[in-house]
């Protein structure tokens, strides 16, 4: 399933889903911790209940003992201790009732104990009052019926309190086990929560990462297709930013292609329309120089020769422009055939021999005379002539341009080596583009318009090869071409090569 969401929505999902999972995990962990804390609090409360209940039983027994001492001695000491014990157990009964407020069973047991306590306290207070009045307090204390009633009261109250204490002891005994279970559950919840968050984060990152990566890869692939003249991938679907970017890119490429078509049409039209009148003018200048219309003065003859030279350069430029247009439109025919590499290099050298002599530059060829490869001989000669001519232009007088060739099992490599000024690193890529030269003064001083290397690159690419340069500024240059020894097909064909 592909969700073409906007980046803002993806961001919200990447943040929101883990956040919701984390909030749920925190809530569950809080609940488990509360259960553990409840067990700890309940144990402390159980201990307090047991302590208060035991204290009440102790105080009841203490009050009865002090009352017995008071009946025999009539000492205020025993009376005071009796009254304090009674007051104290009354306070503890209230505390115990508060502690048992949320336990209906034990609260009912306590209510029974309170009834017994009220009846017993009345009897004890009655005995105390009789002793204080000096009447028959001793008789009341020694009366078997009253003694049985007091004992029954103490035993009943003790039984009720003992029941409460026993229940609380049982709870205290089970408490550590429940607390341990709660803590273990908290650990399990913590581990599961961390694992779940990690899994959710990994799933979301992979899901959206792959989706976004696939769409970005499509756009990147389109950028590599444009220089090669290949058709673009189908437009991305959706209303997200990636689809909008891809749509804009397609529209931009369409506009660029239209602009290129207009540019090629303009170049072809101008070059063609220029060539006819230039050829006519060149012919007329040749006739003038030959004296067809009368002898010319020395100054006029120099002017004619200079004009003829300028016309020749203009015709060469129009030829280059036409070749560039043909390469760009795929109309330049390439015919592969087996050819001798040494003979091809020799023919290229012969074409530039005069130019080399004018610049006082020697040419040395080092190659295997028997090496054969498949290529378009005329086009490779055109490439070599261009490379050798450039090497001669930028070589100092009395230097030598060296041409070497070599091959391995699949590739033929030809190098043109000079000792000129070299090509700076920042220009070694762009000089193979159209209208690119190392310096602007080269066009004025050395001639050319920066089309030759671009044409060489296109021709070599149509041979499924590559062209490049090794150079260090001030240490000469090595221009090289590399083409397969055997082409995929050996018949005439056309390849569309968009200008880079």
Task: Give the model confidence (pLDDT) of 252-279 as tens digits.
Answer: 888 887 877 776 676 667 666 776 787 8
For residue 384, what pLDDT is reported?
Answer: 92
- pLDDT tens-place string over residues 311-346: 776 776 677 666 666 665 555 677 889 999 999 999
For residue 493, what pLDDT is reported?
Answer: 41
Region 145-154: mean pLDDT is 69
**Whole-number Å distance between alpha carbons of 380 and 382:** 5
Higher pLDDT, 327 or 248: 248
**Element of type H or E holding 402:** strand 400-407
Cβ atoms of 388 and 346 within 8 Å: the answer is: no
Higher pLDDT, 246 or 412: 412
Q: Which of 126-130, 153-157, 384-388, 469-473 has the highest mean pLDDT?
A: 384-388
DSSP state letter for 233 = P
Q: Does residue 441 register a pLDDT over 60?
A: no
Taking Cα atoms as reference points, which of 461, 460, 431, 462 lies closest to residue 448?
431
Go through the chain and tell me how many residues it has: 500
**Span 330-484: which CATH code?**
3.30.565.10
- pLDDT tens-place string over residues 424-437: 877 777 787 765 55
DSSP, collapsed to helix, strand or coil, labels residue 481 as strand
Q: Does residue 144 register a pLDDT over 70?
A: no
Region 370-378: mean pLDDT is 90
**Whole-number Å distance between alpha carbons of 117 and 340:** 129
Q: Which of 52-66, 236-250, 390-404, 422-436 has the highest mean pLDDT?
A: 390-404
Alpha helices in 143-240 (DSSP H): 144-228
Q: What percent of the chain has pLDDT over 90?
A: 11
Model confidence at 365, pLDDT cuts 50, 70, 90, reads very high
Region 175-197: mean pLDDT is 74
Q: Which of 53-67, 220-234, 350-364, 417-431 has the highest mean pLDDT?
A: 350-364
Would you give the distance in Å from CA 399 to the centre of its chain? 55
**Element of type H or E holding 271:** helix 241-289
**Whole-number Å distance between alpha carbons of 24 and 324:** 68
Taking Cα atoms as reference points, which of 493, 497, 498, 453 lies closest to residue 334?
493
Q: Does residue 136 register a pLDDT over 50?
A: no
Model confidence at 1, pLDDT cuts 50, 70, 90, reads very low
- Measured between alpha carbons, how far is residue 189 from residues 204, 392, 452 in Å? 22, 81, 73
What would be the CATH architecture of the domain defined by 241-327?
Orthogonal Bundle (1.10)
In degrees rounded to 5, what are phi and psi of residue 233?
A: -65, 160
Q: Which of 154-163, 341-350, 427-436, 439-448 has the highest mean pLDDT?
A: 341-350
Task: Say yes or no: domain 7-209 is CATH 1.10.10.10.
Answer: no
Taking Cα atoms as reference points, which of 118, 116, 133, 115 lies closest to residue 79?
133
In degrees rounded to 5, what are phi and psi of residue 196?
A: -65, -45
For residue 491, what pLDDT is reported?
Answer: 40
Would you give the distance in Å from CA 456 to the centre of its chain? 41
Model confidence at 500, pLDDT cuts 50, 70, 90, reads very low
Region 87-95: mean pLDDT is 86
The 10 Å Cβ neighbour count of residue 328 is 23
**Whole-number Å distance between alpha carbons of 481 and 411:** 10
Task: Tell me the domain boundaries of the chain.
Answer: 7-209, 241-327, 330-484
In degrees rounded to 5, what are phi and psi of residue 365?
A: -115, 130
Q: What percent of the chain has pLDDT over 70?
A: 78
Mean pLDDT of all residues in the chain?
77
**Whole-number Å distance between alpha carbons of 239 and 247:** 10
Q: b/e for 100-112, b at 16 or more Cβ within 10 A?
A: beebeebeebbee
Q: Identify the weakest region by mean pLDDT among 114-128, 139-153, 459-473.
A: 139-153
Higher pLDDT, 500 or 279: 279
Cβ atoms of 212 and 10 within 8 Å: the answer is: yes
Q: Could you give the strand order of the β-sheet that contains 362-366, starting from the edge strand earlier in sequence? A: 362-366, 400-407, 411-418, 477-484, 466-471
Model confidence at 399, pLDDT cuts 50, 70, 90, reads very high
Model confidence at 380, pLDDT cuts 50, 70, 90, reads very high
Q: Which long-range contacts (CB under 8 A, 24 or more apart) does 184-190 make?
A: 185/32, 185/35, 186/29, 186/32, 186/33, 186/36, 189/25, 189/28, 189/29, 189/32, 190/29
**Whole-number Å distance between alpha carbons of 473 and 316:** 29
Region 12-30: mean pLDDT is 71
Query: 406: Cβ–Cβ under 8 A, 6 or more apart, which residues?
Result: 367, 368, 412, 413
**Whole-number Å distance between alpha carbons of 371 and 341:** 6
Higher pLDDT, 445 or 240: 240
């Amino acid at each position: 399933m592909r969700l073409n969401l906007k980046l803002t929505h993806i961001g919200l999902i990447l943040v929101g889903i883990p956040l919701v999972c984390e909030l749920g995990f925190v809530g569950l962990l809080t609940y488990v911790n509360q259960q553990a804390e409840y067990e700890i609090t309940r144990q402390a409360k159980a201990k307090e209940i047991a302590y208060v209940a035991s204290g009440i039983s102790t105080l009841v027994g203490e009050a009865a003992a002090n009352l017995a001492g008071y009946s025999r001695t009539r000492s205020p000491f025993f009376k005071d201790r009796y009254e304090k014990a009674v007051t104290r157990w009354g306070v503890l009964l209230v505390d115990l009732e508060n502690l048992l407020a949320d336990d209906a069973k034990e609260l009912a047991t306590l209510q029974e104990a309170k009834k017994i306590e009220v009846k017993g306290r009345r009897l004890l207070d009655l005995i105390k009052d009789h002793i204080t009045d000096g009447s028959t307090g001793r008789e009341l204390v020694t009366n078997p019926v009253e003694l049985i009633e007091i004992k029954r009261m103490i035993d009943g109250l003790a039984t009720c309190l003992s029941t409460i204490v026993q229940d609380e002891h049982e709870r205290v005994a089970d408490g550590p086990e429940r607390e341990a279970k709660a803590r273990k559950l908290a650990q399990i919840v913590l581990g599961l929560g961390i694992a779940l968050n990690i899994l959710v984060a990994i799933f979301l990152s992979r899901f959206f990462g792959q989706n976004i990566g696939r769409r970005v890869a499509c756009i990147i692939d389109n950028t590599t297709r444009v220089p090669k003249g290949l058709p673009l991938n189908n437009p991305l679907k959706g209303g997200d930013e990636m689809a909008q970017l891809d749509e804009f890119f397609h529209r931009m490429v369409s506009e660029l292609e239209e602009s290129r078509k207009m540019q090629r049409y303009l170049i072809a039209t101008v070059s063609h329309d220029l060539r006819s009148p230039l050829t006519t003018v060149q012919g007329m200048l040749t006739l003038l120089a030959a004296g067809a219309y009368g002898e010319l003065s020395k100054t006029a003859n120099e002017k004619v020769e200079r004009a003829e030279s300028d016309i020749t350069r203009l015709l060469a430029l129009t030829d280059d422009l036409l070749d560039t247009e043909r390469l760009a439109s795929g109309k330049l025919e390439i015919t592969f055939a087996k050819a001798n590499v040494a003979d091809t290099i020799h023919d290229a050298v012969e074409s530039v021999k005069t130019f080399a002599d004018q610049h006082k530059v020697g040419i040395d060829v080092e190659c295997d005379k028997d090496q054969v490869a498949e290529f378009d001989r005329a086009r490779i000669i055109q490439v070599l002539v261009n490379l050798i001519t450039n090497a001669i232009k930028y070589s100092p007088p009395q230097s030598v341009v060296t041409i070497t060739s070599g091959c391995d099992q699949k590739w033929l490599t030809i190098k043109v080596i000079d000792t000129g000024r070299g090509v700076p690193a920042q220009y070694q890529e762009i000089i193979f583009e159209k209208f690119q030269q190392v310096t602007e003064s080269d066009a004025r001083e050395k001639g050319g318009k920066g089309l030759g290397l671009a044409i060489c690159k296109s021709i070599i690419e149509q041979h499924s090869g590559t062209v490049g340069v090794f150079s260090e500024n001030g240490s000469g240059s090595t221009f090289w071409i590399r083409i397969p020894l055997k082409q995929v097909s050996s018949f005439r064909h056309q390849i569309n090569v968009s200008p880079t």
